[in-house]
A and B are shown apart, each in its own frame.
Chain A
Amino acid sequence: MADRTRIPGGLGRRDFLKASTAGVTLAALGGAPAWAAGTPWADRPASKVDKLNFVVWTYGDIYTKIAAKFQADWGIPVDSTISSFNDHPTKLMTMYAGGEAIDVSQSSPFSFPNFISQDLVEPLDDMPGAKEYLADLTESAKQVAVYNGKLMGLPYFSTVWVWNYYQDMLEKAKFEPFTSYDGFMEQCRKAKKDKLCEYPVAWVAGVGLEQLPGTWYQMTWNRGGVFFDKSGNHQLGDGSIARETLKWWMQTFKEDLADPESLKAQFTTSAKAFGAGKNLYRGPNHHYGLNIVNDPKQSPIAGKVKVHGSPGDGRTIGDSHVYFLCTASRDKEWAWKLLQYLGGKTKDGKYTQAENLARDAMLGSGYKSVMTSNVITEGWKPWGDPAKILEIWDKATYVGEVCNSIYKPWHFPWTDRLNIEVQKALTGQITADTCCDNLIAAIKEVQKG
């Protein structure tokens, strides 16, 4: 995002000082490993635990790897409870309410304020090394991890919303990637008329916290609108940019330009569906979807899907997800140690997990030092053009600026209503005006609690 400062090598002053200290210690210890003492991520907590655990949502085998590394480094086994993204809050909640020990868990930016308000999250400011992490957080990660001035979590990953297009189809149509929304509609109409494809655009419009809502947020923000102003007043009234954006969006469904499967599409499923090569464009979505749609093992059109920025000044949205230390942990010091393995540094002082996520899954990091390192520029290459994505990254704003209800515990139930009302609008059951009016009315309802 905008603060993605490009520092060659990515070694900060603090990192340099720490490394120097470690080097001196190494010399003094006569060959002992550099991480033996003096760094918060390398010190062994004084307390003892038999095991630790984390409760997370699934993502490949990253958790198996990091749990194995933790056990190898510290000799303590780590149990993992892994569910799907949408089921994660439920799983976490039932375990917490049932009195089970939970050392570390994770959250999307949309659930995090709610978790905090439910006393689920332990503040981290007093933990050893927390200040160093805080100093290295990107602005996006900071917006999520710092709540009411306190550091409440460490970054899992960061992403920005980008458009995709299918290059072969675009070339066949003799189009250039669109530069305006009117131009986009014209291209879609022509592609349909010429029978290049039945449905030129696939949207990520499935029910979710950031799927359907994210698409609307992104396109509204790109047009210069927001959902709530700085004072928390809604911006959904008559003539608002959000309302007009919704009208435009609905038009793509009315004219049968939008793939009907869009209304069920989540990020991963939409990437897989786009890989079938049946659509010209894929609406704004998380940048890392390219690691599916451009993966030859998963996509027949691998390598042919390109990233495209948004019209106008190209502004887009981004967000960060976090790991947090749970108040139900069995041992705070050890839980902090485990939390660092997931969202910070491992014993060797490296951002192992963040770097692996960049290399293996094309994810962005919530740490400036990782985002500016060649882990990103080299790690993302197999699936896309890192320079192009980073160019879009620099035009991204944290989604909370667009919809600052994210910081409120009532955002989650309001999003439920948003999903319902917008899907009704997109399927032609209600007008955009009714949809927005209903959402305005819903704000008061959900605020009542």
Chain B
Amino acid sequence: MVSVAAARPAAPGARIGGVAYRFGRELPPRVLGLVMNLPTMLTLALVLAYPIFYAAYLSFHKVSLAQLRRGIFPFVGLDNYHRILTDPLFLLALKNTFIFTAFSVTLEIVLAIAIALLIDQKHVWTGRITKFLILLPYAVPPIANGLIWSFLYNFDFGFLNRILFTLGLIHEPINWSGEPSTALLAVAVPYIWRTLPFAILLIHAALQGIDPAMYEAASVDGANALQRFRHITLPLLAPVIVVTLVLRTSFAFAVFDEVLAITQGGPGDATWVAAWYSYKKGFNPPFDIGVGSASAFVLALIVGALAIAYVKLIYRRIQ
């Protein structure tokens, strides 16, 4: 026999958990949203916001080894920012970072779309193997990746020169990482090789979400492959391309491992990038962490501004 209480519909509050049930009423959607988001917000504040704000704090203080140990940082106002913004090396490092980012992100997006389209062809039986192989570079630790490529680039014994020489593409070995004109490229290629799978994954996932009926309909209407790509694929991929752009740009701005392993900023200052500058200032004698933090914070501001620009200029236009 079913009791009256059991047969009665549950109170509205009972559907949303114990807290609401006890108070006997449903939480307003805004409050509920806040409660649900609070753990994530707290975690992000702890692991992301705190270090960023701490770096900002340090950037306004004189911080060196002794001060860090004692925990006493004299306030120096904008002095650290003045120092980096008047340092030609920092400005050069920024310039190199912009060139590196523009080159690597552009190439990465173009390659990622092309490769994602290729492996999306279901009738190509090697697609599955290719998908697996493409992921491999992403599993290589960045520093190991840099070391592997530094061996490939070796002027005397590197495989890259040997292959190009065998193919008749070069007649003299090229000092890829030792020539100022090619050194930044020599850092960019391994970086792209390592991070490309991430972009491919995102775009490939988005491709799989496109309804095949749209292509069929377009084909019936006489659209060729290029037109289908131009008018169906690309517009539908645009949101994920913007997300990829934001992520890849922010990561490319922080490129460090390949520089450390392949060129150490050289030859001369040809591959000094912003993250390398921050590292050299903050983590090498005289351990000027205040200056290092200031340069890192400027970098963070630039990345933030670029992310906003991407969203405003591209994403909203698409929406």
Name A's B-contacting residues (CB within 8 A).
86, 89-90, 93-94, 96-97, 99, 111, 114-115, 117-120, 206-207, 259-261, 263-264, 273, 276, 278, 328, 409-410, 412-413, 416-417, 419-421, 423-424, 426-427, 429, 445, 449
Task: List chain B residues, Cβ under 8 A from A260.
Answer: 155, 175, 178-179
Nearest chain A CB to B13 CB, angstrom units: 49
Q: Let me know if B280 is at the binding interface, CB within 8 A.
A: yes
Nearest residue (CB) in B for A107 is B285
Q: Judge whether B156 and A118 touch: CB under 8 Å.
A: no
Known: A93-B283, A94-B283, A429-B180. A119 touches B69 (CB 8 A): yes
List residues 284-303 of chain B with CB under 8 A from any CB of chain A: 284-289
Q: Judge whether A427 and B268 touch: CB under 8 Å.
A: yes
Nearest chain B CB to A355 CB, angstrom units: 31
Other contacts beyond A118-B64, A207-B266, A420-B272: 17, CB < 8 A: A89-B285, A90-B284, A96-B68, A97-B65, A97-B68, A97-B287, A99-B69, A118-B66, A118-B285, A206-B266, A259-B155, A260-B178, A261-B175, A263-B266, A410-B286, A412-B285, A423-B266
Name B's A-contacting residues (CB within 8 A).
64-66, 68-69, 87, 89, 154-157, 175, 177-180, 263-269, 272, 280, 283-289
Known: A93-B65, A96-B65. A427 touches B179 (CB 8 A): yes
Nearest residue (CB) in A for B86 is A445
Nearest residue (CB) in B for A435 is B268
In the assembled complex, the Cα of A292 lies from the Cα of B180 at a distance in Å of 30
Known: A114-B286, A273-B156, A410-B286. A119 touches B268 (CB 8 A): no
Task: List chain A residues, Cβ under 8 A from B263.
Answer: 264
Nearest residue (CB) in B for A264 is B178
15 sample A-B contacts, Cβ–Cβ < 8 Å, listed by A number: A90-B284, A97-B287, A118-B66, A259-B156, A260-B155, A263-B267, A278-B156, A409-B286, A412-B285, A420-B269, A420-B272, A421-B268, A423-B266, A424-B267, A449-B288
Task: List chain A residues, Cβ under 8 A from B89.
Answer: 417, 420
Q: Judge whether B284 and A261 touch: CB under 8 Å.
A: no
Nearest chain A CB to B30 CB, angstrom units: 42
Task: List chain B residues, Cβ under 8 A from A429.
Answer: 180, 268
In-complex Cβ contact of B265 among A94, A412, A420 (8 A): A420
Q: Please provide the 6 A-B residue pairs with the shortest distance between their CB atoms, ordered closest to farther.
A: A424-B268, A97-B68, A114-B285, A412-B285, A118-B65, A423-B268
Task: List chain A residues, Cβ under 8 A from B266.
Answer: 206-207, 263-264, 419-420, 423
Task: List chain B residues, Cβ under 8 A from A420.
Answer: 89, 265-266, 268-269, 272
Q: Judge whether A115 and B156 touch: CB under 8 Å.
A: no
In-complex Cβ contact of A89 among B157, B267, B269, B284 (8 A): B284
Q: Judge whether A120 and B65 touch: CB under 8 Å.
A: yes
Task: List chain A residues, Cβ under 8 A from B269.
Answer: 420, 424
In the assembled complex, the Cα of A421 lies from the Cα of B267 at a distance in Å of 9
Nearest chain A CB to B288 CB, angstrom units: 8
In the assembled complex, the Cα of A206 lies from the Cα of B157 at a distance in Å of 18
Nearest residue (CB) in A for B269 is A420
In the assembled complex, the Cα of A426 lies from the Cα of B269 at a distance in Å of 12
Nearest residue (CB) in B for A412 is B285
In this complex, the member of B179, B272, B286 whose beta carbon has the largest number of chain A beta carbons within 10 angstroms is B286
Known: A263-B267, A424-B268. A416 touches B280 (CB 8 A): yes
Nearest chain A CB to B126 CB, angstrom units: 39
In-complex Cβ contact of B155 among A261, A417, A424 (8 A): A261
Nearest residue (CB) in A for B280 is A416
Task: List chain A residues, Cβ under 8 A from B155.
Answer: 259-261
Q: Judge whether A93 and B178 touch: CB under 8 Å.
A: no
Task: List chain B residues, Cβ under 8 A from A120.
Answer: 65
Task: List chain B residues, Cβ under 8 A from A427.
Answer: 178-180, 267-268
Task: List chain A residues, Cβ under 8 A from B285.
Answer: 89, 111, 114-115, 118, 409, 412-413
Q: Judge whether B69 and A261 touch: CB under 8 Å.
A: no
In the assembled complex, the Cα of A78 lies from the Cα of B175 at a distance in Å of 44
Nearest chain B CB to A123 CB, angstrom units: 16
Nearest residue (CB) in B for A278 is B156
In the assembled complex, the Cα of A97 lies from the Cα of B263 at a distance in Å of 28
Task: List chain A residues, Cβ under 8 A from B177.
Answer: 264
